[in-house]
């Protein structure tokens, strides 16, 4: 029987994002952000895995901007902004020693004039003091899908290189104002998802039929890479103790069959969707296969040699990622010298969630091994969890989410196996999420991930009361045992 425990000083806790749980969108001088214009669709098809949940075209944005009747769930979130003291008490009760959260760029700098919102600075300091009071360490994300609407409308987001300097102006404020609260920072949340959504990933819109969509997405990613690298440089200048990571959505995958063609398809998928991003942020350079990919797809990258030097000289200190699922890739064709493949195929060996996400605990161990031995930098898993449509059992005054306990238990066991049996260096784990919040993909409140239940529905109705689920009680016992209770 195994009795592995998490290493000493392991950062163990939960995660959340300002856009999804703060609310208070019109309080204390906050500016609007891209998430504030996303609407909830009560008729959504949860299992439609082919739907791009994150994207918003230019046409849709203009429609939503003038929509006075839409449901805008990110505007109210769960009102953490006004309930943080109660929430931190609950975080301690469910066993968190670390909390990964994001700072709202649009709250810190509401307008393009660069004037800092002092009310926001003081409020975040109160929140971070509250974390310190409860002995909860912080990992702070600088950009978690919170691009200010002025960055979109006046600069066209990260498609415009001027956004790099705008981001650094914001980073400088944050690094200086909050330097006493943490030395662990993350630049961009799930930076690789920019390739799926210009709007959510990089703060700009693309016309529905834009023939240059792919080229624009890769140029925006490049500008984010440069901004991330300069962010690392700036963080070190302000405090040499700072450690900066950048985060990817883990795209762990398998070939759909033993057919070598499917293995080739999985290789090409992995290069483009996974390794490319780590090659740049952790290794500091564009891999040759990407230059080939750009040439075959007629993608012109707007870059210069100075930018490539910046990438090379300012790589991340640790690698962070979210992990929820894995996928299968099947070969289709390579008659044009480009391997075409189908992705997102159901894996018959795995169960899946209501939203069609395959549950693959062993996959996280495999991915950790691949990632660590390829780049040899410490890992931090900053999102991992299961979304379920849940209702509080009023009669028994409980929410017995045994499925979440099982999900977390199996993933945490595989993380420990990766550490102790495979030699992977992992410094932290923050599950998604400590507390129910609005789903970034489907915009639902009813897609619940939390250890703590929040009484708000998809339409923003409810008394906002908080209650600990059975998974929260279990998480506390497991945390107090430093992981030994898993076995």
Find out whether 82 and 28 touch, Cβ atoms under 8 Å.
no
Q: What element of type H or E holds 174? A: helix 162-177
What backbone phi and psi angles, to 5 degrees, belong to 54?
-95, -20
Q: Which residue has the tokens 């507390």?
A: 435
190 part of the active site:
yes
Find out whether 23 and 79 touch, Cβ atoms under 8 Å.
yes
Spans of the chain below 70 pLDDT: 1, 49-50, 337
Residue-level pLDDT at 241:
97
155's CB contacts (< 8 A; 6+ apart) are 112, 162, 163, 166
pTM of the model: 0.95
Distance CA 292, CA 401 (A): 48
Residue-level pLDDT at 1:
55
Catalytic residue among 190, 307, 390, 444: 190
Residue-level pLDDT at 49:
64
Catalytic residue among 307, 383, 390, 444: 383
383 part of the active site:
yes
Residue-level pLDDT at 72:
94
In sign, the C-alpha dihedral spanning 102, 438, 452, 484 is negative
What the chain holds in terms of domains, given with CATH numbers, is: 11-486 (3.20.20.80)
Which pair of tokens denotes residue 89? 């008490």
Chain segment 393-406, per-residue pLDDT in tens:
999 999 999 999 99
Residue-level pLDDT at 487:
86
């Amino acid at each position: 029987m195994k009795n592995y425990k998490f290493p000493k000083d392991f950062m163990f806790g939960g995660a959340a994002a300002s856009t999804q749980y703060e609310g208070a969108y019109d309080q204390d001088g906050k500016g609007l952000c891209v998430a504030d214009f996303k609407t909830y669709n009560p008729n959504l098809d949860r299992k439609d895995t082919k739907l791009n949940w994150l994207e918003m075209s230019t046409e849709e944005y203009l429609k939503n901007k003038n929509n006075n009747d839409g449901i805008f769930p990110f505007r109210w979130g769960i009102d953490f902004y006004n309930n943080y003291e109660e929430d931190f008490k609950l975080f301690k009760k469910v066993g968190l020693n670390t909390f990964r959260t994001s700072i709202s760029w649009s709250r810190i700098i509401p307008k393009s004039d660069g004037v800092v919102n002092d009310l926001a600075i003081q409020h975040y300091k109160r929140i971070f003091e509250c974390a310190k009071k409860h002995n909860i360490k912080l990992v702070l994300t600088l950009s978690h899908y919170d691009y200010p609407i002025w960055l979109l409308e006046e600069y066209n987001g990260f498609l415009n290189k001027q956004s790099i300097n705008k981001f650094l102006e914001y980073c400088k404020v944050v690094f200086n104002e909050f330097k006493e609260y943490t030395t662990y920072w993350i630049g961009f949340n799930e930076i690789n998802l920019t390739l799926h959504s210009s709007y959510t990933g990089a703060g700009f819109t693309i016309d529905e039929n834009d023939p240059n969509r792919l080229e624009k997405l890769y140029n925006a990613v490049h500008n984010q890479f440069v901004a991330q690298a300069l962010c690392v440089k700036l963080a070190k200048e302000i405090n040499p103790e700072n450690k900066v990571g950048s985060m990817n959505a883990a795209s762990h995958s398998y070939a759909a069959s033993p057919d070598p063609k499917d293995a080739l398809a999985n290789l090409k998928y992995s290069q483009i969707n996974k390794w490319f991003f780590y090659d740049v942020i952790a290794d500091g350079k564009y891999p040759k296969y990407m230059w080939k990919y750009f040439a075959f797809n007629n993608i012109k990258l707007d870059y210069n040699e100075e930018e490539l030097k910046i990438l090379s000289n300012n790589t991340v200190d640790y690698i962070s990622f979210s992990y929820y699922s894995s996928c299968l890739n099947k070969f289709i064709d390579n008659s044009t010298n480009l391997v075409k493949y189908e992705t997102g195929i159901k894996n018959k060996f795995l169960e899946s969630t209501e939203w069609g996400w395959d549950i693959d605990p062993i996959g996280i161990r495999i991915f950790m091994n691949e990632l660590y031995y390829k780049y040899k930098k410490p890992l931090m898993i900053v999102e991992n969890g299961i979304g379920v449509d849940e209702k509080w059992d009023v009669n028994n005054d409980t929410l017995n989410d045994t499925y979440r306990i099982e999900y977390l238990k199996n993933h945490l066991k595989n993380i420990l196996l990766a550490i102790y049996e495979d030699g992977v260096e992992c410094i932290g784990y923050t599950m998604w999420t400590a507390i129910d919040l609005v789903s970034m993909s489907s915009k639902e409140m009813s897609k619940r991930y939390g250890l703590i239940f929040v009484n708000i529905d998809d339409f923003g109705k409810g008394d906002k009361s908080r209650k600990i689920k059975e998974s929260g009680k279990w998480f506390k016992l497991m945390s107090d045992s430093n992981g030994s209770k898993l076995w």
